[in-house]
Amino acid sequence: MDSAPLQVPGSPVVLFAGGGTGGHLTPALAVADRLRELAPHARIAFASSDRAIDRRLLPATDRHVLPLQPLASAAWHPLKFAQSGWSTWRALRRVFAEVNPSVVVGVGGLASFPVLLAAWRRGIPTVLLEQNAVPGRANRVASRFATAVCVSFPPTPGQWPARLRVFDTGNPVRAGIAGLAPSVPAAQQPTPGVPHPQGQSAPSLRLGATQFEAPRQTVLVLGGSQGARALNLAMIRLLAHADPSFRQFDWVHQTGPQLADEVRQAYARAGLQAEVAPFFNPIDPHLRRATLAITRGGATTLAELACAGIPALIVPYPQATDNHQVANAQHYVAARGALVVPQEAEPNHWEPRLEAHAIRLLTNTAERTQRAQAMRALARPHADVAICRVLLDLAHPSRASRVG
């Protein structure tokens, strides 16, 4: 299957709703980018909160800000939360009148739910993007009335309502990262139209393999778009007595908004070549040259590492809702592409294991290579095209699809 423009009647309008984290927004932007390529006449709009990550990643045009307060504020400021809910409903009336969407896509996060509910009440098709192995709260509730869901991990029996159309697409990543994935042999590609045992299959897509011209001698430390204080502190302590193997590699460390200066100083004291920043956008130049990633267990990050063929040392965020980062990590651990180190309350209970695994992977080229191959086998570079097909089919249910 190629990614030539589709024969789409009219000008479909796709409204993406939600955000609040890079893990929610990055897949939405990947799908939006591909949709512009496949359906050049489509209009794309976003409805999100006004969090800093939303402002940083979403385009300024065709973005509608919802005044909804964080869910946690309902306990401390119930009146303010209720008022924000009423303001959100009024804002949505304006958004739907202006945008008039053909299909609404919930990307996760609290801001997605009122938009999806408003679309359902107007009879507009709704599609959920679920990045995690354990569905998020907003998507779980919205699945009771949504039209379809596109999942990143193979669905399990009973995970979704029986009436919901479930598409096993994989987690979409930006084109620059999808291009790092090797070509998918035709015999291994899913056949369009053949249902997955627990969902509907994604269309196939062949992408050109990327050959890395230089030795991959960089360690990538990723705390997610919001950072990871515990992981940053762990690295500071490990760097205080850096193992000699650490000096054989360059380091790239995304810290999030906290501790960037402290982490940068720790690398300098250890005498290591390091690039440290709160956030890297784009991330693909660093993925292209990384030989190992030390990371949280966010689904989008892991999908990107799979496309790049980077073995991972995963420290799941222990406070993640329903422990979904552990479930995400287990998918990659089971395939032998990653190792997992659970974060415990006492640093001295888990940081020595983190250091031991890091040294083991940095000093064992054969194991790194094997795990890199296992990660590449999990890559789903065609996910964005698969989701676009779902969206355009729902926007124009009578059209003859050329995808596949």
The segments of the chain whose pLDDT lies below 50 read: 1, 185-198, 201-214, 399-404
Domain-located, residue 2 = no
pLDDT at residue 78, rounded to an integer: 67
Determine how many CB atoms are found less than 10 A away from the CB of residue 140: 16
Do 126 and 186 fall into the same domain?
Answer: yes
Report the pLDDT value the prediction gives residue 59, as an integer from 0 to 100.
Answer: 83
* pLDDT at residue 4, as a whole number: 62
- What integer pLDDT is reported at residue 1 of this predicted model? 45
Residues 274-313: pLDDT tens digits?
999 998 888 999 999 999 999 999 999 999 999 999 999 9
Is 403 a domain residue?
no
Question: Is residue 164 located within the same domain as residue 250?
Answer: no
**How large is the C-alpha radius of gyration of the chain?**
21
Residue-level pLDDT at 258? 85
Determine the Cα–Cα distance for residues 192 and 197; give it in Å rounded to an integer: 14
pLDDT value at residue 53: 82
- Cα–Cα nearest to 47, from 69, 70, 71, 20: 20
In terms of domains, do 200 and 225 share one?
no
287 and 316, same structural domain? yes
Q: Say whether both 248 and 367 belong to one domain.
A: yes
In a domain, 3, yes or no: no
Rounded distance between C-alpha atoms, residue 305 and residue 8, angstroms: 33
Q: Which domain holds residue 366?
A: 218-377
Task: Say what the pLDDT of residue 194 is.
Answer: 31
pLDDT of amino acid 205: 34
CATH number for the domain harbouring residue 31: 3.40.50.2000
Residue 213 lies in a domain: no
Pair 67, 182 in one domain: yes
* Same domain (yes/no): 230, 346: yes
Query: Are residues 237 and 183 both part of a single domain?
Result: no
Query: Based on the domain organization, do 202 and 281 belong to the same domain?
Result: no
Domain count, the chain: 2
CA distance linking residue 265 with residue 253, whole number of Å: 12
Is the distance from CB of 198 to CB of 166 less than 8 angstroms?
Answer: yes
Determine the Cα–Cα distance for residues 289 and 111; give it in Å rounded to an integer.
36
Question: Can you give the pLDDT at residue 73?
Answer: 54
What is the structure's pLDDT at 46?
95
pLDDT at position 82:
65
Residue 286 shares a structural domain with residue 391: no
Structure confidence at residue 257 (pLDDT) = 84
Same domain, 117 and 225: no
Inside any domain, residue 154: yes
Per-residue confidence (pLDDT) for residue 81, from 0 to 100: 60
